[in-house]
């Protein structure tokens, strides 16, 4: 297989993962279960899919301090993002989580002593302005708790992305550990749900297998040969497509302030990722 074919195939994997991840908002909005119960049940099937994939690659889960920290960060990301989708709009939830590169910049400065560059500081300032707009909108919409949870989700997601900077960490063990934490944390809530109809249960199972498990596998495969610039551009599809699907099928409207904030955050992060990838 030629290099160009490999690149095109990997780019397709990235696109498929972004599309599958973007279905998260719609799944959460339409599911009658509570956030904790749904997240626990879907992670059971996501764990099975991801574990089978890694096992087929000859990899084993490694339990150490840094991977456990990563697993906790992944669980917080997962749980808070689902809760945020229940409390605020899908647009707010995904765009505020999409601020994770900003937290990577800040955490790298604080913990790894990596001084931010001029572009880093400019991007942080612009994104911060966009985030403020979300909370100004939340004052009237009553969704600031959901906005806070989405922002914390982006913060914890940044920790997951930074794990490779620390000794003893790998890319797969924290995910599997985090999925087990999600399952354990939400398991008691499953027994308090009232809707166990076949459509509801089937929807959560599909969500776990496809929207979480399979999407993650596509993402790993996509990173193998996708050029950084291409990956950065494709990654912006998720925060754009996610609220559009919710608006189309769930009829959730997006306020003008939220839309302005979303444009500021998504465009600034996208431009930053592209410029940073080109520089590297």
Mean pLDDT of 254-277: 80
Cα dihedral 215/89/39/107 (nearest 10): 70
Residue 40 pLDDT: 97
Q: Which two tokens stand for residue 76?
A: 């917080």
Residue 204 pLDDT: 96
In which band, very low, low, confident or very high, does the pLDDT at 8 lie, cut at 50, 70 and 90? low
Using CA atoms, how far apart are residues 263 and 250, in angstroms rounded to an integer? 21
In DSSP notation, 246-276 reads HHHHT-----HHHHHHHHHHHHHHHHHHHHH
> Each residue of 22-55: pLDDT tens digit?
999 999 999 999 999 999 999 999 999 999 998 9
Residue 142 pLDDT: 47
Residue 2 pLDDT: 60
User: Poorest-confidence range of 62-66, 119-123, 136-140?
Assistant: 136-140
Using DSSP's 3-state secondary structure scheme, residue 241 falls into helix
Residue 57 pLDDT: 87
Mean pLDDT of 218-223: 78
Q: Mean pLDDT: which of 73-77, 107-111, 114-118 is highest? A: 73-77
Q: Which two tokens stand for residue 91?
A: 């647009």
> Each residue of 111-129: pLDDT tens digit?
888 888 888 888 888 888 8
């Amino acid at each position: 297989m030629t290099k160009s074919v490999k690149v095109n195939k990997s780019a397709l994997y990235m696109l498929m993962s972004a599309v599958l991840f973007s279905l998260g908002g719609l799944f959460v909005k339409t599911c009658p279960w509570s956030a904790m119960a749904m997240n626990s049940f879907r992670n059971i099937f996501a764990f099975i899919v991801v574990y089978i994939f890694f096992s087929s690659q000859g990899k084993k889960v490694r339990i150490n301090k840094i991977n456990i920290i990563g697993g906790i960060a992944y669980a917080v990301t997962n749980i808070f993002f689902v809760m945020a989708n229940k409390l605020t709009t899908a647009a707010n939830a995904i765009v505020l989580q999409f601020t994770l590169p900003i937290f990577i910049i800040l955490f790298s400065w604080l913990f790894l002593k990596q001084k931010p560059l001029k572009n880093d500081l400019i991007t942080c300032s612009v994104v911060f302005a966009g985030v403020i707009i979300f909370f100004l909108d939340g004052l009237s919409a009553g969704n600031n708790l959901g906005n806070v949870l989405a922002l914390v989700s982006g913060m914890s997601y940044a920790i997951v992305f930074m794990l490779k900077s620390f000794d003893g960490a790998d890319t797969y063990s924290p995910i599997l550990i985090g999925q087990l934490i999600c399952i354990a944390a939400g398991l008691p809530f499953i027994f308090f749900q009232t809707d166990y109809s076949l459509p509801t249960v089937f929807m959560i199972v599909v969500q776990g297998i496809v929207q979480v498990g399979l999407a993650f596998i596509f993402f790993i495969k996509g990173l193998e040969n996708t050029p950084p610039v291409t990956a950065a551009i494709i990654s912006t599809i998720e925060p754009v497509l996610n609220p559009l699907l919710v608006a189309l099928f769930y009829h959730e409207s997006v306020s003008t302030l939220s839309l302005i904030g979303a444009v500021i955050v998504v465009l600034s992060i996208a431009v930053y990722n592209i410029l940073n990838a080109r520089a590297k």
